[in-house]
Amino acid sequence: MDAEPTPTPARPALRPTAIASRARIKAAVPASGAWRDGDDPGRRQFAALGGLELEGGGLLPDVTLAYETYGTLDAGGRNAVLVLHALTGDSHVAGPAGPGHVTAGWWDDMVGPGKPIDTDRYYVVVPNVLGGCQGSTGPSSAAPDGRPWGARFPRVTTRDQVAVEVRLARELGITGWQLVVGASMGGLRALEWAVLGPEAGIEVRGLAAIATTAQTSADQIAWSHPQLAAIRLDPGWHDGSYYDQPDGQGPHAGLAVARQIAHTTYRSAHELDTRFGRLPQGGEDPLTDGRYAVQSYLDHHGDKLARRFDANSYLVLTDSMNTHDLGRDRGGVEQALGQIAARTLVVAVDSDRLFPPVQSARIARWVPGADDLRIITSPYGHDGFLIEFDQLGPIVREFLESLEVGERVRTAG
């Protein structure tokens, strides 16, 4: 006869103060952090761009893009720069937090007067991506029936997103970009712009593709898969129809977990080990019910995103990244890269484990007008493009200046 199993010791109960603290955090998280009609627009402007036939089939009616502009378009329209944000970014690239903007500009050290992308010299346009949640048409927007799209929002691809941005450029009277620059998800769109823009009659003279890829890899899709599942398995997701739920009853837990998984890929193992090691968080004891400091760090970033972003947009935009393939219907990636006529800057972060340098090297190798690959040395991993401004700033400034010199030479000729 088998022996009786040894009872598993009960886990110590959470301290009452910890229970109260976590309950307060949960109750304070809104069902969605999306910007909604009626909210303060801040610096946002809005362009109504009509219906869009989607690459995957179907029609998305009444598309609106939110965008911000910095600087002034010159008389010849030759100084326009398009800046494209990453997954959870938005149109607020520069400036402080304030009414309508819960966070400060995500690239504030790069864009502004006297900065590498100098708004005293350039007219900078920053759209919120189609499918996003900060003013552009996305899952939190009203569908034709007046209710939020939610999970009914159709699949959009990187190519769809750029097709709408092409319309925005026309709306603004821009016939060419001095530079199209993007990092991470923004880099996917920047590469699409370099092909689709000229096909649509909008010149792209300069391209900067930073910490990005021409084709999403199996590894990147694999990392995204549990992120999508975390949101969809959250009982607060309500099959995507959670916008009328009270605070604390939306899919904030699933969105926070998705962010924690993603954030791990945004940083390097070396940085996490060096910064946190196996230290406990504050007075907590990991042998009872406490956390290690690195767990607290991830909890913080998950909670922070859940307060300012929308779970359905996270699903839509992650899916758009998964479907990214510059070579689709263009004869393959190398042939598509070979079509890019823009002078091209490609930048990689040496410790990036999400978009590794080999993917950037592929872009630099096959784009005819690409400069030599530039490498940022950083312990921070993929997030180096948001941190290492002392390296990235001079690279971008130098590239813009070289574009201007090329312009003058062509004009003189």
CB 339 within 8 A of CB 193: no
- The H or E element spanning position 391 is helix 389-412
List Cα–Cα distances, 331 to 8, 217, 325, 368, 378, in angstroms. 60, 18, 11, 16, 35
Centre a 10 Å sphere on the Cβ of residue 48 and count the other Cβ atoms it contains.
11
Residue 78, marked binder: no
Catalytic residue selected from 263, 352, 360, 378: 352
What pTM was computed for the model? 0.93
184 is catalytic: yes
What six digits make up the tokens of 337?
């890269």
Residues in the chain: 413
310 is catalytic: no
Looking only at Cα atoms, what is the longest distance across the chain?
96
| Cross-strand bridge partners of residue 231 | none
What lies within 8 Å, CB to CB, of 65 at 6+ separation is 46, 47, 49, 127, 128, 130, 135, 136, 137, 164, 165, 168
382 is catalytic: yes
What is the architecture of the domain spanning 220-318? Orthogonal Bundle (1.10)
The label of the residue with tokens 């040496």 reads 350
Q: How far apart are CA 394 and CA 321, in angstroms?
A: 29
Q: How far apart are CA 191 and CA 181, in angstroms?
A: 9
pLDDT at 21 exceeding the cut of 60: no
What lies within 8 Å, CB to CB, of 2 at 6+ separation is none
Residue 259, marked binder: yes
pLDDT confidence of residue 72: 97
Region 45-217+325-412: CATH code = 3.40.50.1820
Q: How far apart are CA 392 and CA 378, in angstroms?
A: 11
* Amino acid occupying residue 151: A
pLDDT confidence of residue 4: 37
Mean pLDDT of 364-368: 98
- pLDDT tens digit string along 65-110? 999 999 999 998 999 999 999 999 999 999 999 999 999 999 999 9
- pLDDT tens digit string along 314-342? 999 999 999 999 999 999 999 999 999 99
Catalytic residue selected from 32, 184, 224, 351: 184
> Where are the domains positioned within the chain?
45-217+325-412, 220-318
